Structure formats: C-alpha cells, structure tokens
C-alpha cells in the first residue's frame, strides 16, 4: 500500500510538471504564463514599460546617492554644450570645473597654435605638438625648454635646432603661441544637454552648473525602458518565445546585472557616452527590426555613432535584414527596396559628413576625433596608432579573464607583508565575472547551431549536450598546458566547466517549449554584431582604465541580451536565477564603491604592464610548443 501511495505521489508530481510545461507552451510570447508570480500582472499592457522606467530611475537614483545632486567631477559634455551654444567647438581657455573652479586635466585634447614669421616677413600658422627627443609630448608650457621638435597636425616635423635634411623651426621666429583645448568625445550627449542649458540661461541661472549626473541617470533609465519595450516587441512579432516575466528578467539583467549598472550612476564623460550610446543602439534596434522604420533606424544609429563611433558598424543589422527576404538572400533593387535603404542611409550620411567636417576643422583630419591629442594617448598613438596588436593581450586579459582577487601590501607588526584580499584591477574585471549569465550563451549558441545540424548528435544524446562542455574543457586544458600566463584562469575555468557539465540537465537546456526550436534567422547576425562591435576594443590603446568592469562591453550588451532572448536557455531555472542574483550583487558593489572607496581597487596603471610590454612572450610560447 505504501508503494502504491508513493507511485500515486510520483504521478501527481509528474502531472504538476506536465501542467506547468503545458502552461508555458500555451502562453503567448510576451504575455503572462500561469506559473508567473502575481506581481508580473502589474506590468501587463501599456503601463508595463512606464513601471519599468519608474523603478529603474528610482533604483539608479538611490545608487547614485550624493552624486545625483551635484555636477560630476569631469563635466566635459557640459563645457562642450556651452561652447556649442556659443557657436564654437573649442574651449575659451584651459578647462576648469564650473562649480569648484578646479583645473581639469583628465582627457582634454589640446595642441599649440604658433604664429611664425618666415624669411619673407610673411606670417603663417602652425598647429601641432611640441615633442621631446624621445617623442613624448609637452603639454605643460613651462616645460617647453625641453622641446626638441614640433609635429604638425599633418605629421610634418620641424626641428628646433638645425639638422641636415630636416625642416627647421627657429624659436625666435615664433611671434605668438597659444594652446587650444577641445572635447574629443563625440557630441550627442552635449546636443541633448543644449535645450536644458539654454533654458537655464534664459531663466537667469548659470547654465555651466548643469547637473550632468541626473542627466545620465535619466537617460540610462530610458535605456532600460526601451530595452524592455524591445524585448516585448521581439516576442509579439514572433522573433522571441519569451513571456512577459522572462522579458522582465532579461531587462533586469541588462539594467542591473551588467556593467551598465555602475556606468549609469557615474555621470562623468566616459560613462555618459556609453550609457547614452546604449540607449540609441536600443532605439536603433527597435526601428531596424523587420525594417520597421528605416529612416528612424538611421537617425538613432547616427546618434549612437556620435556617442560611440564604433557603433556605426552595427548598421550591418539593418543591411542584413534588408538583403534577406523570407529567409533567403534577395538583393534585387526595386523601387521600394531602394527607398528603404536610402531612408536608412540619409541620416547616417548627414552625421558622418558633419562630423568629418568638424574633425577636419579642428584637427586637420576628417577621421580624427581628437583622442590622439589627449596627454595619456599622444605617445602611444604616434608610435602605434589608436589600434594595434600590441595592446591585444593586455586588453583581452582585462576584459575577459581578470578576476578581482589580488595582493596588497599592509604593515603588520612593523613589517610590510602581502595579503590576499578583494581587489579589483583598475583595468576592469572580466565580463564573465560581472555578468556570468553571458556564459550560458556558449551553451545556447551551440544548441541553436546544433538544431540546424542534427548530425552532430552523440550516441543518441540530444545534439551537443556533451560535445559543447567537452569542447570547452579541452580548450581550458590546452590553455593550461601551453599558456602559463593564463594558468590560474584555466584552472578556474576547468572547475566551472566540470560543474557545468554535471548540471547540464538542470536549467541549461531550456523548458520543453523551447528545446526543439529551429535555427533562428537572427542568430548569425546578432553573433556578428557582438564580434564586429566587441573585437576592435581588444586592440585599442586603452583597456578602459580606470574602471570597475569591462565598460566597453556596454556597446554590445544589447546584442548579448537579444541573443539570450532568442536562445534555448531556460530563464526560469535555478541556474539562471543564481547567475542573475550573483551579477546584480557584483554590479551593485561596483555602483556603490567605484570612485568612492579606493580600498577595493588597484590604482596602479602598470599592474598589467607585463602583458602590454611583453606581449611577444605569448607568441614565443606558441612557437616553442608547436615548432612554428
């Protein structure tokens, strides 16, 4: 009898599970499911996105804290907006903080303008930088006595002492010299500030005291608002099978489980550009999806480009859809199709042409935004350019492998000892540490690919169920054996992958409604978008310093979220719940402590110099192992 009762209980549990699965299967995408929590009902209908905005703005404001009520420490966009309202692009003098009056020296592009009288008594103007004998720039006018040569914006060298076969610049021929300052960061955020700053001035207030922190928080909350709207649009148009509850989870992951969280509450120039760039990327995706509004897709992509120039490459998302019809390539040029493409390209052409004209006017090069003339960048840019393989190893390590554990010197009993502690490298923590849920995409991506390649099944198991984790375990073993630089990370990866394999049946496959989904037509283009936007920063001269996490990942985070939305990954299981909670805790820590509590951060820029300056070690090891 007891056995019969146990069998009945098991049957009841199976029936409950079947009922839950069937409820999920029957729930329309973007709508409620029977198993959803009761609070999800509040987000049904048109009020849903507005509730998302309200809670996003509230939470971001709370974590911004005291920053919310004051101007940021680096208000570049406020000063740029001010000079734009004056009809200029250069600052009126050396930059100072509008509120504190403190001199600002962090990331301001500048060069010298020299009025030089030639032998024919005619005066010409030279624009450029003084350099030392080693090629280092001289930004401080008090150190000009060390100057060895003058490099113009066009790259021509004038030596201050006569040299055979070289152009000579006699210091006595210089009749006037002044230094010109610019904001090298693209201007979309400054454009957005201009109406409010103009209004403040008309009302009798000092527009230079404009609060750029609350500006950043507001537009970041808008980005979260539109991310939820985009996910719902994906569901309601059949691109995603996610329910309302799952879209809320993905929205929460985007807003508070990625580095977008800590970026949103800073208010300073570098982070404002990222958060507003993400906002316009999302708006671009909303209008580009299914070629819904080609003109507005172009407008929003142009705005994103004028925040973060690399985002121009994401135009491929629109072009991909334009070139395909009903799942097949179709590049026929009929009138309607040409009109769609023209409407998309028109705003981009205006934005690109306009900024090229501005760049040429300021720096003598239509492709130069001015980053080359930042004090911390000039030498590297003149030696290697802004992008170079030299920076790959450092950036790759910082962006994808760096973990927040290290040693710090402390004095114990009068002796200096090294102690292990929680210590975030100033070059940033790994993307997969701040948002480990993105690791699931390695599984979801292979599951989606395997649904198109059924022949990859292994002895009757579901396609790629074991192949995927075994593949990455093999990669980790190879790294451990042949690349000692990353041996610690390889060991950690091995441990994670073994646990992952054992848990692969619990939360990784997805519920039955999604397990057998066919190949998604947006999967390849979204993968390409992540690579196209995400790979160039790995070769950039800057790792993102000084940062909590991989802040450049904000540029492609919307595409990672969409990949999660169309994947087979189960969002209702314990695995995703744990990873989401972990990500929120980590990024909340960053939002609270970054630029507030330096005890948790390694402020030594040279902490990864062993990767930047000894990058050849990696290739030597490979050659030594494989005899290349």
596 by DSSP, 3-state: which?
coil
414-427 CB burial, b ≥16 within 10 A, e <16: eeeeeeeeebbbbb
Closest by alpha carbon to 41, among 245, 249, 242?
A: 245
Residue 409 has pLDDT above 90, yes or no: no
Q: Which long-range contacts (CB under 8 A, 24 or more apart) does 18-24 make?
A: 21/511, 21/512, 21/513, 24/243, 24/511, 24/512, 24/513
Q: Are 537 and 310 in contact (CB under 8 A)?
A: yes
Kindly tell me if the per-residue pLDDT of 618 is higher than 50.
yes
Residue reference for tokens 């990954």 = 569
Structure confidence by residue, pLDDT tens digits, 36-49: 788 888 888 888 89
Give yes or no for a contact between 447 and 463, defined as CB atoms under 8 angstroms apart.
yes
Tell me what the mean pLDDT of segment 232-261 comes to: 95
Q: What is the pLDDT of residue 316?
A: 94
Element holding 286 (H helix, E strand):
helix 269-288
Q: What are the distances in angstroms from CA 321 to CA 234, 324, 526, 572?
A: 15, 5, 11, 31
Contact predicate 130/144, CB 8 Å: yes
In Å, how far from its chain's centre is CA 425? 18
Question: What is the bridge-based pairing of β-strands 167-168 and 157-159?
Answer: parallel
| Residue whose token pair is 């939820």 | 228
Q: Using CA atoms, how far apart are residues 319 and 311, in angstroms rounded to an integer?
A: 14
pLDDT at 7 over 90: no
Percent of the chain scored above 90 by pLDDT? Answer: 57
Most confident region among 99-108, 147-156, 280-289, 465-474 by mean pLDDT = 280-289
pTM of the model: 0.85
Give the chain's count of helices (H) and strands (E): 23, 12
Using a 10 angstrom Cβ sphere, with 0-12 exposed, 13-18 middle and 19 or more buried, the burial of residue 119 is exposed
Sign of the Cα torsion 453, 455, 458, 459 reads positive
Based on C-alpha coordinates, what's the Rg of the chain?
A: 28
User: What is the reported pLDDT for 505?
Assistant: 42
Q: What is the pLDDT of residues 302-319, one digit of tens each?
A: 999 999 999 999 999 999
Tell me how many degrees the CA angle 419-420-421 measures, rounded to the nearest 5: 115
540-583 pLDDT tens trace:
999 999 999 999 999 999 999 999 999 888 888 888 999 999 99
- Residues ≥6 apart with Cβ < 8 Å to 143: none
Tens of pLDDT along 507-535?
444 433 334 455 688 888 999 999 999 99
Distance CA 122, CA 1 (A): 112
Mean pLDDT confidence for 64-81: 95
For residue range 414-465, list pLDDT tens digits in order.
776 666 778 888 899 999 999 999 988 877 655 555 555 443 343 334 444 4
Contact 580, 437 (CB under 8 A): yes
pLDDT at 353 over 90: yes
* Cα 66-67-70 angle, rounded to 5 deg: 100
Q: Is 442 exposed, middle or buried (0-12, 13-18, 19+ CB in 10 A)?
A: middle
């Amino acid at each position: 009898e007891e056995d019969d009762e146990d069998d009945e209980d098991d049957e009841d549990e199976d029936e409950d599970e079947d009922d839950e699965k069937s409820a999920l299967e029957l729930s329309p995408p973007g709508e409620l499911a029977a198993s959803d929590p009761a609070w999800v009902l509040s987000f049904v209908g048109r009020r849903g996105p507005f509730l998302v905005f309200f809670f996003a703005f509230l939470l971001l404001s709370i974590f911004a804290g005291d920053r919310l009520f004051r101007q940021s420490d680096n208000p570049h966009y406020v000063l740029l907006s001010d000079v734009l309202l004056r009809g200029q692009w250069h600052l009126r003098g050396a930059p100072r903080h509008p509120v504190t009056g403190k001199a600002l020296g962090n990331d301001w592009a500048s060069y010298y303008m020299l009025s030089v009288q030639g032998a024919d008594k005619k005066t010409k103007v030279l624009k450029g930088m003084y350099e030392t004998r080693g090629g280092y720039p001289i930004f401080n006018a008090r150190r000009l006595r060390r100057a060895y040569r003058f490099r113009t914006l066009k790259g021509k060298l004038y030596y201050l002492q006569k040299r055979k076969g070289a152009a000579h610049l006699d210091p006595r021929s210089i009749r006037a010299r002044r230094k010109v300052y610019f904001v090298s960061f693209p201007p979309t955020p400054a454009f957005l500030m201009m109406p409010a700053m103009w209004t403040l001035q008309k009302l009798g207030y000092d527009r230079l005291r404009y609060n750029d922190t609350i500006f950043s928080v507001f537009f970041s909350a808008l980005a979260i608002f539109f991310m939820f709207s985009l996910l719902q649009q994906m569901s309601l148009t059949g691109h995603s099978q996610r329910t309302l509850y799952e879209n809320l989870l993905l929205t929460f992951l985007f807003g508070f489980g990625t580095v977008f969280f800590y970026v949103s509450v800073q208010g300073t120039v570098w982070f404002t550009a990222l958060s507003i760039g993400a906002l316009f990327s999302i708006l671009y995706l909303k209008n580009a999806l299914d070629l819904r509004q080609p003109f507005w897709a172009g407008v929003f992509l142009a705005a994103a480009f004028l925040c973060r120039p690399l985002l121009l490459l994401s135009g491929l998302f629109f072009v991909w859809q334009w070139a395909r019809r009903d799942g097949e390539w179709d590049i026929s040029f009929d009138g309607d199709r040409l009109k769609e493409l023209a409407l998309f390209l028109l705003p981009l052409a205006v934005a690109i042409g306009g900024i090229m004209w501005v760049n040429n006017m300021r720096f003598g090069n239509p492709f130069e935004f001015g980053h080359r003339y930042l004090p911390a960048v000039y030498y590297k840019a003149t030696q290697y350019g802004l992008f170079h393989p030299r920076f790959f190893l450092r950036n790759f390590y910082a962006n994808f492998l760096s973990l927040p554990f290290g040693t710090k010197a402390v004095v114990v009993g009068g002796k200096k000892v090294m102690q292990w502690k929680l210590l975030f490298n100033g070059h940033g923590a790994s993307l997969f540490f701040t948002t480990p849920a993105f690791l699931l995409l390695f599984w979801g991506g292979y599951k989606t690919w395997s649904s198109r390649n059924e022949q990859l099944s292994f002895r009757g198991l579901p396609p790629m169920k074991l192949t995927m984790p075994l593949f990455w375990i093999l990669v980790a073993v190879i790294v451990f054996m042949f690349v000692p630089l990353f041996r610690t990370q390889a060991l950690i990866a091995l441990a994670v992958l073994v646990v992952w394999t054992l848990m692969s049946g619990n939360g990784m496959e997805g519920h039955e409604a999604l397990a057998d989904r066919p190949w998604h037509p947006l999967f390849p283009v979204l993968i390409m978008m992540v690579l196209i936007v995400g790979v160039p920063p790995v070769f950039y001269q800057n790792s993102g310093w000084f940062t909590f996490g991989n802040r450049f990942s904000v540029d492609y985070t919307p595409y990672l979220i969409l990949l999660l939305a169309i994947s087979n990954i189960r969002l209702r299981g314990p695995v995703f719940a744990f990873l989401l909670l972990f990500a929120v805790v980590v990024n909340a820590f960053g939002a609270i402590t970054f630029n507030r509590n330096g005890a948790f951060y390694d402020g030594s820029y040279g902490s990864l110099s062993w990767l930047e300056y000894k990058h050849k070690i990696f290739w030597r090891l490979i050659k030594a192992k494989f005899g290349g």
